[in-house]
Structure 1
């Protein structure tokens, strides 16, 4: 079936389904887009950043900006540092334009038939995907609307989804995976999407039960991080497929779900590459993707939906296998950039990790190289079993690490045994379930704030999943035989997180209703919730169902602070 964004412009079919089951048709969506596009044509800047938590509002702004001859930068978050970085480039965040009385009549004259998705528009509509930087310095990846449409067509040709399937997502539309599967595929193929982004397996099933009145199938767009928390008593309903992308799906997860899981391989640079439905199965390229494997075993990809029409070499090691359908399938063998040279010795970080994982006390690990005083050191971030965590806390880190190294002597040569170790209950990942490698590098610097395992934010609230690793500076000496994380340290990192999220918060000048109800110990996993109301930020920290701490922080606002500085400067001149 040929997909096209223009096909359903005047359709009365359901496109967006809100949480309260209110429905928005394709025709109403496009009318909303046209009104906003007309207003955006009058904006001065050529390029804007887009971050909008609501999926429907996001898609309206997305197409309105492109129709208004603007270029878009899709960012993975809206933290203060990124906002300042973009502002230095003259890129500001796009918001819905308000319709004034003067422009109301003019805006209403715009009708859907005036829009034509011709080749010129598809080729000139530029979107930049701002990578999360999990594997290095963040960068902008350009894609045209034509390339995105090509990718949507490739997805639709690769899967036999029901024509009336509803997209349900636990991943963000800000990233290319969520944007394609949740929003653009339904938009181009006449399907619909459920607007809320869901957080837990139980939320997915609750949404399916709510949507059952429509008597339509659905498909779920999810991630390895959420799927590994699935249990057999959470039963999917009217679901055709579950999609997973952003990282490797752990083996053994599939039996916990009652529907097929399709793993999707891809990147911001290449777009979607291939898919598979079994843990150890070979990868099948998407319908519009060609692959090759070089003599150095590097996977190359060529497709009409990437930012370039040339071959892109991914850095993945692969082995090509000729399939009976004349289209090559392939096996992944790890990353080429994980072959490192240490003291003139070539080492595979993947192989080192496999040996460490063979130890009884280790659940998960990530090996990496550190730069220390002009020399490289092998290090490892390790997830231990619960019993091993207790041994570490009771017996001390030095003794525990010595035992680990002793167990590795028969498995690895001396140079391949990590010198430095950090221990967590789970490896930190970004919102797309990719390993947060910058965070793991930072673990080997003096650490005062807990490790951010997961992070979600809306306009006025944010949620963090934090781990208090035993190496945190605030644990040292507080107390020697019974480590706890002090309240003053908690207030410090909460302030830091709040100012990172909301750029207009200047400094904290007071507190209200501070309560510390329970202790935070090493390896604690804590949920931190921040809710902002004007200059006040309310916080709660919980571990499971136990409330650990709560209160409100009072901030000075940046615009007020600037006004005071200007006033003070004026007084000095007088």
Structure 2
């Protein structure tokens, strides 16, 4: 049975119940109650209503999120820790809670924080509590998503009904952070709803996972990018469950995970807007996806597919950005055929090609830019065609292409993740257009052959 968030700190769980652990300490229920109440005392006395959470430590994240919610205020999860982009998003939050050396023009509470005297009893958990996440939109700008806590709780109930029995007695470890929807659902909501301990620090290497797995039963929340890199030379371990999301796993990779971890990975399909939609285990190559109970996919007159679900606040559902082939036999299965829009996934990171273009075009060295993806030797990378300004052309004449591209990459790195940086470059006098005045996709691709 899962507990709703309003009961996570209650007497339903004993004082010595293990909530989380790290290499140096364990966090018990008594610690959890005290830490939330202590931070609540600091948050509640401020006039700030929207608190951005930028925390690398997962236990600190749990404390901060509950303290902000109990104060009747709104947690904001920017989904990244880049200072330049946080400064750009400053209109979306009033204050910051962090364990990082971020410097923003707003009130900041830092872990470990200076404590006020905690309350002996927290107030009632607010009705209609919600939090804010961000995801890349089709325009390239971060898209704000308001997520009711009640939707997250119902989602945890579905996951518990599906896998709760096999997860009993296990601990949760993850390579993904709770600042994005998948990590929030599987590495934060699910263990706390089930009363299962979670690791305060994320797994970075297979060796860490291996060391933990020989000590205790584990549920592992990860991504295809990490699972593809598992070291087959290490002795196999037995995990209770392996979850993967962010993109489909190749069949060979799924079988490699089974050989290494003694169980087939369970792949999850969903979006920030919709929450979980479907799952699969690849018992055979190209296994179809199965919808969760109560979730439906409906073809729309415009050719899109809408997902309808009780955990989606909009009654009309949400149009998906993926090409989907519904099962012809009337079953609740479908195949994923790829993405429709300019949001792509590389190494399981959701990347907006439009945003990269916007960042490039804002540089003094560039007059125009066009960004696309290339697949070479099985690897998907970002490529960029650029049109230089007189300043960019002058730099190129004095230095060379490597210096020019290095300066552009250095400037971009302030705004986008490393995997978003273009790997291939072409300097052109103008971006090629077709007769309709649109960018000629085939010609753009040919320029990188």
Superposed pair shares fold, TM > 0.5:
yes
1:129 deviates by 0.6
Output the CA distance in 1 between the equivalents of 2:408 and 2:319.
40
User: 2:205 aligned to 194, 200, 205, which one?
Assistant: 200
SS in 2 for 1:34: helix
Mapping of residues 487-506 of structure 1, within 5 Å? 496=411
- After superposition, the C-alpha distances for 1:234-280 in whole angstroms (9 at most, x for unaligned) are 44523122111112223321121222111110111101111001141
Output the CA distance in 1 between the equivalents of 2:227 and 2:140.
26
Contact 1:263 1:275 in 2 (8 A): yes
Distance 1:34 1:445, change over 3 A: same
Output the CA distance in 2 between the equivalents of 1:132 and 1:149.
24
User: 2:385 aligned to 444, 458, 466, which one?
Assistant: 444
Output the CA distance in 2 between the equivalents of 1:232 and 1:38.
49
- Which moved further from structure 2: 195-204 or 264-273? 195-204
SS in 1 for 2:167: coil
Output the CA distance in 2 between the equivalents of 1:7 and 1:275.
27
| Pairing 1:110–2:116 present | no
Output the CA distance in 1 between the equivalents of 2:218 and 2:380.
31
Alignment TM-score, normalising by the size of structure 1: 0.57
Based on CA coordinates, which of the two structures has the bigger radius of gyration? 1
Unaligned runs of 5+ in 1: 339-348, 350-365, 372-376, 386-424, 429-439, 448-472, 502-521, 524-574
SS in 1 for 2:321: strand
- Which moved further from structure 2: 308-317 or 237-246? 308-317
Distance 1:476 1:217, change over 3 A: farther
Distance 1:495 1:379, change over 3 A: closer
Contact 2:85 2:415 in 1 (8 A): no
SS in 2 for 1:196: coil
Contact 1:316 1:336 in 2 (8 A): yes
| Pairing 1:56–2:59 present | yes
CA RMSD of aligned residues (A): 3.9
Output the CA distance in 1 between the equivalents of 2:230 and 2:156.
28
Distance 1:132 1:82, change over 3 A: same
SS in 2 for 1:204: helix
| Pairing 1:37–2:37 present | no
Mapping of residues 173-322 of structure 1, within 5 Å? 173-209=178-214, 212=215, 216-257=216-257, 258=259, 259-278=263-282, 279-294=285-300, 298-321=304-327
Output the CA distance in 1 between the equivalents of 2:293 and 2:219.
20
Output the CA distance in 2 between the equivalents of 1:239 and 1:476.
57
SS in 2 for 1:239: coil
2:431 is matched with none
- After superposition, the C-alpha distances for 1:120-175 in whole angstroms (9 at most, x for unaligned) are x241x221111145873211100111111111111111224321211111112211
SS in 2 for 1:197: coil
Distance 1:495 1:312, change over 3 A: closer
User: 1:166 aligned to 167, 171, 187, which one?
Assistant: 171
Alignment TM-score, normalising by the size of structure 2: 0.71
SS in 2 for 1:273: strand
Which structure carries more strand by proportion? Answer: 1
- After superposition, the C-alpha distances for 1:262-316 in whole angstroms (9 at most, x for unaligned) are 1110111101111001141121122342333346653322222224343222133
Mapping of residues 430-441 of structure 1, within 5 Å? 440=382
